[in-house]
């Protein structure tokens, strides 16, 4: 029985006037997918030291209007979240993802901070999620969806706090993909959704005036944690 996917691909081939791939073409395509060619890497994505990668990531993230705070350990996560909320006159309440990086976080110890896990709700003013990787080249964060990491947390609340272990900062997008593909090869399933976040949501569609928060969070705050467990 032909699947919907096969029918769709067959219709595309017919429209292009191409038949099914032969054995040699199929083998060539599979090699390209299995061993992708490396792209040109900008100098800022080529750091020999961990501290160099972290410094570049911070500089690039701040360049696109994110704020970054470095923490000594996971014990500092809850107090840092509470401080951020107070600084912006926000309620001491957050919607939190169930990432591994939050396993030992004691939210209630941070001056009455309330943290509730689950998908984002319309009245949530802030969300806290983990990130799979940080890309030094552009200050971008790579987030993976999962049962404990609903994608809506990345878009609905107007304030997004992302916790990133310093050890998860890589030089380039390709480095992050390589790491994920290697883990998928060991049996970890590829996530349904991969979200790339570079600074707060923005648009300049109206009279070329930059407006933050047009299609998602208007504030992005990154907590860069030394020695924290990966969010994956």
What is the total residue count of the chain? 232
Contact of 225 with 76, CB cutoff 8 Å: yes
Question: What sections of 155-228 are H helices per DSSP?
Answer: 173-185
- Looking at beta carbons, which pairs linking 189-192 to residues 24 or more positions away fall under 8 Å? 191/144, 191/145, 191/146, 192/145
Positive or negative, the Cα torsion across 94, 100, 102, 106? positive
Characterise 69 by phi-psi region: left (phi > 0), alpha (psi -120 to 50), beta (else). beta
Instruction: Supply the pLDDT for residue 175.
Output: 93
Give the CATH number of domain 47-225: 3.40.50.10420
Say how far apart CA 165 and CA 226 lie, in whole Å.
Answer: 6
**One pLDDT digit (tens) per residue for the chain, 232 residues:** 678 888 898 889 889 888 777 888 888 888 887 777 777 777 777 777 889 999 999 999 999 999 999 999 999 999 999 999 999 999 999 999 998 889 889 998 888 899 999 999 999 999 999 999 999 999 999 999 998 999 999 999 999 999 999 999 999 999 999 899 888 876 667 899 999 999 987 666 666 665 665 677 999 999 999 975 555 5
Whole-number pLDDT of residue 123: 94
The residue extents of the domains of the chain are: 1-35, 47-225
Quickly count: other Cβ atoms within 10 Å of residue 166's Cβ: 18
Q: Is the dihedral of CA 36, 26, 184, 141 positive or negative?
A: positive
């Amino acid at each position: 029985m032909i699947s919907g996917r096969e029918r769709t691909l067959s219709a595309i081939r017919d429209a292009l006037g191409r038949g099914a791939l032969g054995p040699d073409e199929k083998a060539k395509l599979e090699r390209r997918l299995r061993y992708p060619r490396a792209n040109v890497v900008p100098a800022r994505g080529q750091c020999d030291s961990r501290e160099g990668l972290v410094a570049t990531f911070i500089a690039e993230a701040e360049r696109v209007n994110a704020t970054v705070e470095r923490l000594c350990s996971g014990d500092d996560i809850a107090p840092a979240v509470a401080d951020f909320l107070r600084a912006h006159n926000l309620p001491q309440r957050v919607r939190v993802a169930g990432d591994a990086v939050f396993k030992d976080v004691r939210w209630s110890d941070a001056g009455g901070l309330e943290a509730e896990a689950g998908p984002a709700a319309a009245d949530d003013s802030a969300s806290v999620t983990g990130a799979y990787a940080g890309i030094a080249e552009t200050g971008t964060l790579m987030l993976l969806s999962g049962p404990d990491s609903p994608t809506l947390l990345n878009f609905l609340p107007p304030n997004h706090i992302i916790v990133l272990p310093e050890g998860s900062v890589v030089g380039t997008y390709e480095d992050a993909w390589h790491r994920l593909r290697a883990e998928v090869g060991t049996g970890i399933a590829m996530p349904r959704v991969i979200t790339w976040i570079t600074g707060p949501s923005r648009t300049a569609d109206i009279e070329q005036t930059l407006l933050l928060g047009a299609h998602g969070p208007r504030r992005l705050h990154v907590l860069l944690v030394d020695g924290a467990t990966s969010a994956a």
